[in-house]
Structure 1
Amino acid sequence: MGSVELSLKTVVRVFRRECHRVLDSERTIIHGADSMLMVLQLSAAEVCKQERGDFGVALSDVLVAWKCLLLDKLHLSHDGSPASENYDLIRKEYDSFLKRTNTVDLIDVCNAYKQLRRDEDPEDPLTAMQLFEFLHGNAEASEEAELMISQCPTTPSNRARHCRPQVRRVVRRVFCSYLGLLVNSKNDLALAHALDVPSRSLGHRAFTDLKRAARNNTTSLFLAATSFMRAVQLGGKGYAPSETDPLRKHIKGLSQFVHFTDQLEEILGEVSDPSIAACRIVSSIRAALLKGLSNEDPVYSAAEDTVEALKERISQIHTTLKEVSCGTGISPARPKAYAINHATAYGGRESVKLIMALLDEEALAPPCRNKAELLTEEQAIFNGTEGGGLLSLYKSPEAPTGISPQPLRNRIQSQQGHVKSKVKERMIRSQFACTYQEDLLPLNRVLEFPSSSQLPTCVHPAPKLPSPVPEEEPDTRVAIAEVDPGAVRAVSSALGQRSSNACPRKGSAGPRDRPAQLQSVAKTSKRKLASRECEEHGREENQPPQKRPPAKSCNPGPAKKSSKASSKKLITGQGKLTSFFRL
């Protein structure tokens, strides 16, 4: 460990000893260099959303804002370095995020050291320029880290560590995130890393719904998840969440997450020995991460190495804390009488102090050299799905605009073409299959989209008017029936005499056949007349009844009876029989 890291360790130790004098809660988490950069990225993206409406920021803008933030908080001159756009808003959002999540960064710890140190503590163990070089990234420190890795023995686990440093870093961050949630439940950054690891089907949509619920209730993400599940499990009819609550779609995943954190808290409160409790918690996290993984998976080897390193460090820290407590006779951070109301609990308090000391050492780790890799790391290492990093997780999904990606006409034509291209399958015909045409399918279920020209334009069409009866030639059937038979014979004889001089044509009727011909014509005309009257009467019956004008009271007497008789309605078929017997 370098001199800068030793000085930072001294600063953090004094801060933990006296933090109850300046902080409302003793469970405040310290952000290291990498965590500070992640928080700054989220703050810059939030400012871009407020100014431009898009939650996102370029990597170059984040790095410029990162340098401005370090110089500004350490009170160093910029020396002509370019200023970041909207830096004041980014700095305000950054401080608001730290305050909301009950966290501080290393620069705040160093600034508070001057107020909290005692006479026996060193005056200024670390200068501002040294801290700037450490946080911004020093080439010498990174070269020393690479040299230390190259000098390690080539064991299988070390080989996996050397080949996949990104996997090892992500796995260690997940372990520290679960431990951080046990200490400080307001740490939203830790919950973002641990919510869907291992995979619980709590992806982008679930995190967005949880974030909106926390914002509406002005609570942390962890409290929003736990309060929702408590209301579902214990709430009565009047206290259960509504059926339209967006979190109801993620009950299964949230239930698994809350149940797992409850198990870790039970270990924390029930086991009296801090070292044993912390080791059991680390083992439980390992069992959850490695469930269903094979020995050849890089996550498996990285988790095994992380668990071994954390258990070893836990035992060392526990030994150090016992020596300090035995030397002074009191706790390094004695709680006040009212401090229990500020997230300081007596159950498992020694285990909490041990975990906090472990997390403080993680915050003193040197920053990652590859900033782009750090800011774009994804959780695909565990769940196998591709996606962005922390920025894409915090970004709300795009709302549907309602605009169709393709015009309706094109989609209908493509669907019709797809249906026509299908092979005609054998279909079940009914017992009247012989009446179907061969070119048409009897039970065709293919949807056909009619055009606008085929659709009726009027919802209530007007009733059809009766078709007018065409005028015909004067009917001679009645005249023929009323003619005297003697006159008929006279006319026929006259015609016979008139046409006797002419030679009859072949196939034509002679004079003797004319009376029979006239009788057949008369019978045919009678049948036509009867059928026509029946059709007219049936058409009149099908028409709706028309309103008749009221009878005039000025014509009393027999005329009134005749009008009643003429207006009598006929029953069905009566008109046909009447016309038949009339003939």
Structure 2
Amino acid sequence: MQDIGERLKQLVRIFRRESHHLLDSERTTVYGADAMLTVLQLVMAQVNKQQGGEFRAALSDVLLAWKRLLVDKLGLRPLDDEVAPGQGRDVILEAYEAFLKRSNAVDLVHVLTMCRQLRDHSDLPGDLVNPVELYEFLADSTEVSAAPSTPPAKSRACNWQVKSAVRSVFCSYLSLLVNAKDDLALARTLDVPSRALGRQTFTDVRHAAGRTGMSLFLAVTSFVRAIQLGGKGYAPAPSDPLRKHIKGLSAYVRFLDNLEDILGETADPSVCGSKLVRAIRGALVKAYDSGDVCAAAQEIAKQLEEEICKLHRVQKDSAHAAGTGISPARPKAHAVNRATAYAGRESVKVLLALLDEEAAAQPCANKADLLSEDRPGLDGSRGTSVVTLFRSPEVSKGSSPEPLKKRAQSRPDPLKPKTGPRAIRSQFACTYRKEEEPPLNRVLHFPSSSQAPTCVHPAPKAKSGAAPVAEPSEVPLPGRGDANPLRAPKKTAKKRKRADAASDNEPPEKKKQTAKSRVKSSTAKRKKMIAGQTTLTGFFRV
């Protein structure tokens, strides 16, 4: 009995040959086990986001939902408690089927179901693969690992991961040539090699595709075509978010245009496949300096060239055995792109056969390596998985406020006087006497009347050298002399005693000063020196 892998490949060939009875397009992509699991992880992350959570899906939840999905689609009974019906099962299944429909793709379960339907209407062989065998093949129940693999040699592990990533890039580019609606293929090739198109660009492309109802690739192509050929009336608005990424998107579309030109202008499928593979290999080798990437690109390109030549010979032999060179699956008008109606049709059939065999290949044994969101890319950067790419980047809401402690410390104290910058004093500042700043209690500004000072400072005393001011009652009237009737009465004995007591409290040297003594006292004040002035004066005296 043949191996399950060989029988599954034969089943896919039958599906491809007879799919025109059930499908409208002959360019439908078949998703293998790894692609099915990736789509399931992406769909679960979207459902979690819609239900108010984060755009994430735990590895254990994905593996459990994977078994439930296969059981439901294959119509099997739950084999154990782990695949029992769970909450949100119908929502996940509906979202999964919607993603495949948008991408014009089918999975291996759909292939088995359609082949069983076609068997009732044509002379097809019996069940090459039964549902239980397909479940065991897809679920890989014999070797399910939930931890990253740790091979003994790191160089071998790195080499294996790079080869797997490079082969995925090759197949994704070829898939876009035959199916422009394959969103998974665009996600894997948009920024490989690097075109400065990151998560923000992919998010803007998804939003543009959602507004127009097109696939991701058609949204990118229509935007670039409108920029190139639209003119003033049909060009995208200046506020279009994709205008920020026009350089990288134009380079991406230009590269795919070159691949489509090769596909439409080369008649021989073997030569066409070799040119396509070499063009992709050249882009990867030119963009990456890593020796592992260049070596993997050379090796994968050689393998794909050999596989394309082999598939072309098989199709040619089968066509001669059937007696006609025309495939039963005739292309429809809406399914033909550009110049592929004549020269490129045979090449498209070979590419589809190559992608079908890739889908029927053995699935990845370690699910953690496949579903890890922190898996490295070809350039060595982390976080290049499809789920990370589909997750919208966080929008910055401005700078976060400072902690309360820092804000309280930086706030000025209303009761603290504002002190300006201290003036720079020269070494001779002590020779100049200046008025000192008033004390702190003189400049406080109290915010309310309840905090006003309770004492009032007395008025400053008059200087000793100032002339006394005569009272109005003692000023003699002009022309009257001492015989002024308004003169103040003489002091009584009691008042005289009070005046004498007040005079006793005054310093004894305080006497009435004449004009001559007043001049002497002012001269003495000027000659009075402050502390330290005598030393400096003597030092600078000539």
Structure-1-length-normalised TM-score: 0.67
Aligned to 2:205: 210
The 3-state SS of whatever aligns with 1:410 is helix
Aligned to 2:391: 395
Aligned to 1:438: 424
The 3-state SS of whatever aligns with 2:307 is helix
**1:16/1:333 contact within 8 Å kept:** no
Q: In the aligned structure 2, how far is the partner of 1:13 from the partner of 1:228? A: 36
Letter in 1 for 2:359: A
CA drift of 1:399 comes to: 3.1
**2:373/2:383 contact within 8 Å kept:** no
Aligned to 1:55: 55
Letter in 2 for 1:341: H
Q: In the aligned structure 1, how far is the partner of 2:513 from the partner of 2:155? A: 120
**1:17/1:332 contact within 8 Å kept:** no
Taking the TM superposition and a 5 Å limit, the aligned residue runs for 1:97-246 are 97-117=99-119, 121-137=124-140, 139=142, 164-246=159-241
Aligned to 2:333: 340
CA drift of 1:168 comes to: 1.1
Aligned to 1:64: 64
Structure-2-length-normalised TM-score: 0.71
Q: 1:133 to 1:410 in 2, by over 3 A?
A: same
Is the aligned partner of 1:15 residue 2:15?
yes
**1:160/1:301 contact within 8 Å kept:** no
**1:197/1:383 contact within 8 Å kept:** no
Aligned to 1:353: 349
Q: In the aligned structure 2, how far is the partner of 1:269 from the partner of 1:15? A: 25
Q: In the aligned structure 2, how far is the partner of 1:506 from the partner of 1:229? A: 104
Letter in 2 for 1:105: D
**1:324/1:332 contact within 8 Å kept:** no
Q: 1:508 to 1:130 in 2, by over 3 A?
A: closer
**2:143/2:365 contact within 8 Å kept:** no
**1:275/1:314 contact within 8 Å kept:** yes
Letter in 2 for 1:315: C
Q: In the aligned structure 1, how far is the partner of 2:376 from the partner of 2:411? A: 37
Aligned to 2:402: 406
Write out per-residue CA displacement over residues 233-286 of structure 1, whole angstroms, 9 at most, x where no aligned residue. 111112111111111111111111111111111111111111111111111111
Taking the TM superposition and a 5 Å limit, the aligned residue runs for 1:533-552 are none
Q: In the aligned structure 1, how far is the partner of 2:373 from the partner of 2:304? A: 22
Identity between Structure 1 and Structure 2 (%): 46
The 3-state SS of whatever aligns with 2:232 is coil
Aligned to 2:292: 298
Q: 1:415 to 1:174 in 2, by over 3 A?
A: farther
Q: 1:108 to 1:506 in 2, by over 3 A?
A: closer
CA drift of 1:10 comes to: 1.6
**Structure 2 unaligned spans of 5+:** 413-421, 426-443, 446-468, 485-511, 517-542
Letter in 2 for 1:261: L
Q: In the aligned structure 2, how far is the partner of 1:241 from the partner of 1:122? A: 54
Q: In the aligned structure 2, how far is the partner of 1:159 from the partner of 1:322? A: 43
Write out per-residue CA displacement over residues 412-432 of structure 1, whole angstroms, 9 at most, x where no aligned residue. 96899xxxxxxxxxxxxxxxx
Q: In the aligned structure 1, how far is the partner of 2:66 from the partner of 2:209? A: 28
Number of matched pairs: 430
CA drift of 1:343 comes to: 4.0
The 3-state SS of whatever aligns with 1:30 is strand
Letter in 1 for 2:52: R
Aligned to 1:376: 372
Q: 1:70 to 1:372 in 2, by over 3 A?
A: same
**1:225/1:254 contact within 8 Å kept:** yes
CA drift of 1:382 comes to: 2.2
Q: 1:43 to 1:331 in 2, by over 3 A?
A: farther
**1:43/1:94 contact within 8 Å kept:** yes
Aligned to 1:318: 312
CA drift of 1:27 comes to: 0.2
**1:168/1:302 contact within 8 Å kept:** yes
CA drift of 1:325 comes to: 1.7
**Structure 1 unaligned spans of 5+:** 151-157, 417-435, 440-452, 455-472, 495-504, 510-583
Aligned to 2:322: 328
**2:270/2:312 contact within 8 Å kept:** yes
Q: 1:508 to 1:266 in 2, by over 3 A?
A: closer
Taking the TM superposition and a 5 Å limit, the aligned residue runs for 1:482-561 are 507=514
The 3-state SS of whatever aligns with 1:259 is helix
Letter in 1 for 2:424: E
Letter in 2 for 1:74: L
Letter in 2 for 1:333: S
